């Protein structure tokens, strides 16, 4: 059996194989009639990836509070209407034999922006549906609006909001929650000395800058079922001199594991417009490998992992325990099934009975989860 197609068990959850759907924002909710509520687009988008054989389908960033959305069109998990809408999607993902995960997020100073394809970019003004953003310090991200620095009460509300969203995720039937502490969003903003200039207990040294993320993790772990895993997505480097780096990530990963995190989703960048990222196939894999080896925690690699043979090599070489796929799945939602054919193990991946003829084998039918 190939390494890519081997099962992986974290706590009481077993993933059929190690090719997983990375969170990918869709910016497609209706901010006027149903803010933050996923709908048919999300069902078809995520459902098609489950049909394609992914072992774990993780949603886009779901904001834990309205002001935590990147754009007014973002999905959320701050109320029961959203939880009920997610439950419909989770049920379909499960029916295809896949596990379902939700990424919980707060955009912080990068919130209240226009969608990427909007002809206008930057911050959305209040008269057009925007809001005042928050961050660790009153420092803007590039040309975006200057955020308000969170006070003690604001910090407590953030922690409580993540925990409340995790409770709703359990109600919706999700198997995994992932805390988004990467890509320049709020929890990453606290981690990085480039964006966190605080002088209180939530700033300064690594311990202070990590405090909010660790408090969020502890609050989520306290309400999330003990037999279900919690992932944390980290930007393992700011790609800016003097910023957050892989050595910081290794130390933080040890602390995350000690507090109940089960896997680090190792990405990078997003916190500073001055970043210089050496983008290329597998460009983030070396940092993932260092975190895995030096922190001794399970790690998923992500970032231009394009072909099955490449993904297989990442795992065989010990750089990661699983791979998250984004853009390759947008161009080919059947990537996991294609990988199973290429690696000569079609039985390792779920095939809907309607598609079994593509295997030229009598493979077992999909077994629904839950």
Residue 275: how many other CB atoms lie within 10 Å: 17
Distances (CA, A) of 145 to 114, 150, 220: 12, 15, 30
Give the DSSP H or E segment for 42.
Answer: helix 40-51
Task: Tell me how long the chain is.
Answer: 370
- Decide if 264 contacts 203 (C-beta within 8 A): no
- Decide if 235 contacts 188 (C-beta within 8 A): yes
φ and ψ of 75, to 5 deg: -80, 160
List of residues 6+ apart from 213 with CB closer than 8 A: 179, 181, 187, 190, 191, 232, 252, 256
Distances (CA, A) of 140 to 213, 220, 244, 276: 21, 28, 17, 19
Tokens of 253: 């990963």
363 vs 346: CA distance, rounded Å: 7
Tokens of 220: 């989520």
Residue 87: how many other CB atoms lie within 10 Å: 16
Residue 157: how many other CB atoms lie within 10 Å: 15
List of residues 6+ apart from 134 with CB closer than 8 A: 67, 108, 109, 111, 147, 148, 149, 150, 154, 186
Q: Is 185 a catalytic residue?
A: yes
Q: For residue 289, give the 3-state DSSP assignment.
A: helix
Q: Which of 185, 202, 283, 355 is catalytic?
A: 185
60 vs 354: CA distance, rounded Å: 28
List of residues 6+ apart from 9 with CB closer than 8 A: 15
Q: Rounded to the nearest 5 degrees, what angle is found at the Cα of 27, between the Cα atoms of 24 and 33? A: 140
Catalytic center residues? 185
């Amino acid at each position: 059996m190939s390494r890519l197609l081997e099962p992986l068990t974290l706590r009481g959850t077993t993933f059929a194989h190690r090719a997983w759907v990375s969170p990918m924002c869709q910016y497609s909710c209706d901010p006027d009639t149903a803010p933050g509520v996923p709908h048919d687009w999300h069902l078809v988008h995520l459902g098609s990836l489950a049909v394609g054989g992914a072992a774990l389908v993780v949603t886009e960033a779901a904001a834990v509070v309205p002001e935590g959305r990147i754009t007014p069109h973002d999905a959320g998990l701050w109320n029961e209407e959203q939880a009920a809408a997610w439950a419909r999607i989770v049920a379909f993902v499960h029916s295809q034999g896949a596990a379902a995960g939700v990424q919980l997020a707060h955009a912080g100073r990068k919130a209240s922006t226009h969608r990427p394809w909007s002809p206008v970019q930057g911050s959305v003004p209040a008269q057009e549906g925007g809001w005042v953003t928050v961050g660790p310090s009153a420092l803007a991200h590039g040309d975006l609006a200057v955020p308000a620095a969170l006070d003690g009460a604001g910090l407590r509300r953030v922690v409580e909001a993540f925990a409340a969203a995790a409770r709703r995720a359990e109600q919706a039937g999700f198997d995994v929650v992932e805390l988004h502490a990467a890509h320049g969003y709020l929890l990453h903003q606290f981690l990085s000395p480039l964006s966190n200039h605080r002088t209180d207990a939530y700033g300064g040294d690594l311990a202070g800058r990590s405090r909010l993320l660790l408090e969020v993790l502890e609050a989520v772990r306290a309400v999330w079922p003990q037999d279900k895993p919690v992932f944390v997505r980290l930007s393992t480097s700011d790609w800016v001199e003097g910023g957050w780096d892989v050595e910081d990530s290794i130390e933080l990963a040890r602390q995350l594991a000690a507090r109940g995190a089960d896997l680090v989703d190792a990405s990078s960048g997003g916190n500073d417009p001055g970043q210089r990222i050496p983008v290329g196939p597998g460009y983030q894999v070396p940092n993932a490998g260092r975190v895995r080896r030096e922190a001794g925690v399970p790690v998923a690699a992500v970032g231009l992992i394009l072909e099955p043979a490449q993904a297989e090599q990442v795992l065989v070489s010990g750089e990661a325990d699983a791979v998250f796929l984004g853009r390759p799945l947008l161009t080919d939602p059947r990537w996991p099934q294609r990988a199973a054919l290429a690696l000569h193990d079609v039985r390792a991946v779920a095939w809907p009975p309607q598609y079994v003829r593509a295997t030229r084998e009598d493979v077992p039918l999909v077994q629904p989860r839950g």
